[in-house]
Amino acid sequence: MSADDETVTLTGLPVPAVEAGGWLLDGYLLIGGPRELLGDGEPVRVTGRVHRDLATIWQQGTPFVVESAEPA
C-alpha cells in the first residue's frame, strides 16, 4: 500500500456508502477512524493520506486512510 505524499485534512459531514459500513466524505472513502464519530450525523475534521491503489470492498470513493478525527 503506497500513500500519496502529502497529509490532507477534510472537513464535512460523512455520508454512508452504498455498501454497509463504508463512509464517504467529499468523494473520499474513509478507511479507519472512530466509527462512532464518523457516523454520528455531525460534521467532522479528518486528517490522513490518500491511498489510490488500496483495494477495498466498497465500490465508491477514493480510499483515504484516517490518521486522526475530531468533531468540526
Please spell the DSSP secondary structure of 7-28, one letter per residue: -EEEEE--EE-SSTT-EEETTE
Is 69 within a domain? Answer: no
User: 4 pLDDT exceeds 70?
Assistant: no
pTM of model > 0.85:
yes
CA distance 60 to 22: 9
Q: Which amino acid is at 61?
A: G
Is 6 within a domain? Answer: no
Is 68 within a domain? Answer: no
Domains contained in the chain, number? 1
- 18-58: pLDDT as tens digits: 999 999 999 999 999 998 998 888 999 999 999 999 999 99
Is 24 within a domain? Answer: yes
Contact between 66 and 31 (Cβ < 8 Å): yes
